[in-house]
Structure 1
């Protein structure tokens, strides 16, 4: 066994070990990198966390409040001192409870309040009558609106992920395409390099003239240029893809190899199944439902404006020195024209109409897009089947031309034309695969597929 042969064995072992130690990067690997630590992902979903935090802010409207008040005056003809500490607790139905202690001495400007020297305890309730009857008030509206907005933001984030994921998968398919084309160009160059040795041997034997070597060198240069152009396209596609993964190229090259475009399976898709899945899963359609919920909430809140503002309140007091007492009252307020209520109702009704039309438009576009995509997918699948037949034909023609060249009945120009023709047919076949896969992904996008974080 010669040293040269051993060297070749070592080189083959090194490259084989390197290839087998790497993983084939598939679409399933995307989930490892498309996480919230990825800036593209967080940008797509960040708003939902902001709106979710606003729910807690809205819940603050139901917080128990501690109130402290102290006032002391010494006027020329009057003196007085007032202190009050109380807790108030609003409830979801609009009723507010108050409990506290106060002490008033001297002449006061506080509703003629006067207590014994030890002060008084008080317990009270404030009831907004029509808000209570309608089950709606400002605090409840603010909280419910925050919850609906958070739900809508979640659907909008999912829709952002739907569009982003489809874009990333498409860039992955484009990367595989350029990788395959680059391999085709490299094989084309290898053929010219290998042929050059055959030509040199024929020139030395006198079967060919020296000009054949020049033609061979020119062909090699031309094919090296083709490789460089394709490598540039591949490198750009790789950089675009890796930016979405937020991964350096060196790390990717060390860990992964790319699969063949033809290894990716074609999926059988049924139109009715696609429509049914889209209606259940599309986040943008769910976001419209959430907007409708918000308009229904606006309707409920605005309905309170149709009634007068009527607040009933009652306070019971226990003066530590003088005993018990009670105070009751009401507050009545009504706008006579009610233009705010009527205007808001028209605004809400117009909003509902616009929402329904928007939903109809989305459904119409969805069905039209899916029909067009599925028709295009069928055409590309037919082209793929025809491409197999065409590839076999051009490969046979290229093989025949090579045999003719070897016996001297063809020339380098004819060989070049056959090999370029074979490459173009194979490249066209790859384009059919690429387009079929991209259409499959577009259908999945229309169906509402997105990354589950």
Structure 2
């Protein structure tokens, strides 16, 4: 084949070889290498996002609100202190009284414990005899117990239980928000890496055409190539440069989007530069083989719905409690101290009962029916959510498997296209191919490589979606 080459072609090959060769200056001092920027990994992005993402911080603030509401509900069991004083500056009787008391509601019964001290001075009318104490006053202590209504649950304990459920809901909402944020952070990182790889492909195409232009111009001067070939290659350079500029613009857009998740120690967005791009697109996160039922049960949205059902059960208990009659027993002991009437000196004890019942009970029956309907609706929603999550996980597993196969095929296609492009460039260098064919091979290689990048991105994205659907907090760096 080499013997069949024309004299002009042989001369063009020598010129091309001379253009490719680069002379080395022996006496030139080596330039100090600048330190390369540290490669940005997915772990860096996920750790930054988990720490500084505004959505996660907002969800944590809502969790603190739920904690504060629970503390407010627990305040219904606080110890209450009362003080009261009365005097009569005018009138026939000049009696004065002073009293302090305290009571605390019980946490395991609807009743309360109470105690107090009171003292009186001066004269009182006969009908105010209960206000009179001995000289050193009277101590009193007692308790009220609920025997029917409010015995197992009352408004105070119900509010505390519901507030504790709200704390759990806020924590689950925080987990759900964090999982969504981390999933979007993975997507933003993968899109940024894919955009960087596309820039490299188009830049390589542009540099190939630009390097070929010098060789073509030398060959045109020697008469080995027509002059129109130089114009055609310049047109090819402009077209490839346009593709490269568009890819660089998309890379900058993806870097800006990634800065919403990549933040510094103060929580300020950091726009990653192109020199921090990794050499290839990796999976980043890998779904684990877990039991389907365990994966469904671990989902925060399902757990939140279960908590809401439990809260509805508390409201149902409160409504059923209102149907019961009230029967309270009261036990009290008191004793006077100091000089005074001997009638008041012995220790006194008293026991009393109080009974009341609403006759129509329409309010309680209405609340019971309302809560029962809410429970039915939540149970139906729970069953549907379990089915929906199961289908979602199954579909994502199918997508991961299919995307993995397509990524393998795309990689094989890109390898074959690379072999074809390299062979065609050698043939073009030897003069056995034309300019149009070598351009077609190079652009076919670029298209196949872009398809390989896209296939790898879809596979990595499907894996990230599956990890998020499985609520794998360890993989998501939560």
1:100 maps to 116
Which stretch has the larger CA shift, 225-234 or 213-222? 213-222
Q: 1:126 to 1:26 in 2, by over 3 A?
A: same
SS at match of 1:73: coil
1:124 maps to 142
Query: How many residues get paired?
Result: 442
Given that 2:114 and 2:143 are in contact with CA atoms closer than 8 Å, whether structure 1 keeps it comes out as yes
**Corresponding position: 1:319 with 2:362:** no
Alignment of 1:27-42 (within 5 A): 27-42=42-57
Given that 1:81 and 1:108 are in contact with CA atoms closer than 8 Å, whether structure 2 keeps it comes out as no
Residues 234-270 of structure 1 show CA distances to partners (whole Å, capped at 9, x for unaligned) of 111111111112346777449x823244443785765
**Corresponding position: 1:71 with 2:86:** yes
Cα distance in 1 for partners of 2:166, 2:253 equals 40
Alignment of 1:408-427 (within 5 A): 408-427=431-450
Q: 1:6 to 1:251 in 2, by over 3 A?
A: farther
2:452 maps to 429
Which stretch has the larger CA shift, 375-384 or 147-156? 375-384
Cα distance in 2 for partners of 1:452, 1:74 equals 75
> How far off is 1:113 after superposition?
2.8
1:157 maps to 174
TM-score normalized by the length of structure 1:
0.88
**Corresponding position: 1:189 with 2:211:** no
> How far off is 1:402 after superposition?
2.1
Given that 1:277 and 1:447 are in contact with CA atoms closer than 8 Å, whether structure 2 keeps it comes out as no
Given that 1:58 and 1:143 are in contact with CA atoms closer than 8 Å, whether structure 2 keeps it comes out as yes
2:221 maps to 204
> How far off is 1:409 after superposition?
4.8
**Corresponding position: 1:239 with 2:239:** no
**Corresponding position: 1:14 with 2:33:** yes
2:7 maps to none
Residues 67-91 of structure 1 show CA distances to partners (whole Å, capped at 9, x for unaligned) of 1112233455655433211121222
> How far off is 1:66 after superposition?
1.5
Given that 1:401 and 1:418 are in contact with CA atoms closer than 8 Å, whether structure 2 keeps it comes out as yes
Of 47, 50, 60, 1:45 maps to 60
> How far off is 1:196 after superposition?
1.2
1:400 maps to 423
**Corresponding position: 1:170 with 2:187:** yes
TM-score normalized by the length of structure 2:
0.84
C-alpha RMSD of matched pairs (Å): 2.9
Larger radius of gyration: 2
Alignment of 1:268-417 (within 5 A): 273=290, 275-320=292-337, 321=340, 322-324=344-346, 325-417=348-440
